[in-house]
Amino acid sequence: MPLPEMDSGVGHSFGLEFDGVQIKSITEISGLKMEQDVIELKENGADGKYVIKKLPGRWKAPEVTLTRGLSEDNSFDQWIKDSQFGKMSDVRKGGAIIVYDYEGKPVKRYKLTNAWPKSLEIGALKAGDTSVLTEKLVVTCERLEVE
């Protein structure tokens, strides 16, 4: 369902799916970036003047960072272990990040192709601290596109 004209999405409502499996409790997603190289073609025009044309080049593969509170869910851990042992046929996954409107209906999907975990970082452990422990998973993929 499209958003009303001159309205915007709210960032607190999103989901993550990989190969049909919903990964829950994600609190932050960053790095959603679609970018490609720029090729400069330098030549002389018909009138002899120096001209620079910019052409689209190769797509750049993004890295998406997923943050969630530390929990008993070990889906990130197992995914990391499989990639460390080189089980790439099991590790590469297709997925999507889905943005929902205030009624819980999907507004937009960002498709990740052949995504796999690059790193997992656990938040700082401090004695006596009352903040929530987090884990950040950096996922690299071959392509990010809007569905």
Length of the chain: 147
| Number of Cβ atoms within 10 Å of the Cβ of 95 | 22
Contact by Cβ (8 Å): 67, 61: no
Mean pLDDT of the chain: 86
Residue 87 C-beta-side C-alpha neighbours within 13 Å: 9
d(CA 7, CA 140): 31
pLDDT digits (tens, 9 = 90+) for 81-111: 888 888 888 889 999 998 887 777 888 899 9
pLDDT band for position 9 (cuts 50, 70, 90): low
The pLDDT of residue 112: 94
Beta bridge partners of 40: 54
HEC states along 55-97? EEEEEECCEEEEEEECCCCCHHHHHHHHHHCCCHHHHCEEEEE
Q: pTM here?
A: 0.77
The domains found in the chain, sorted by start residue, are 14-146 (2.30.110)
pLDDT band for position 4 (cuts 50, 70, 90): low
| Number of Cβ atoms within 10 Å of the Cβ of 71 | 12
- Supply φ then ψ for residue 138, to 5 degrees: -100, 120
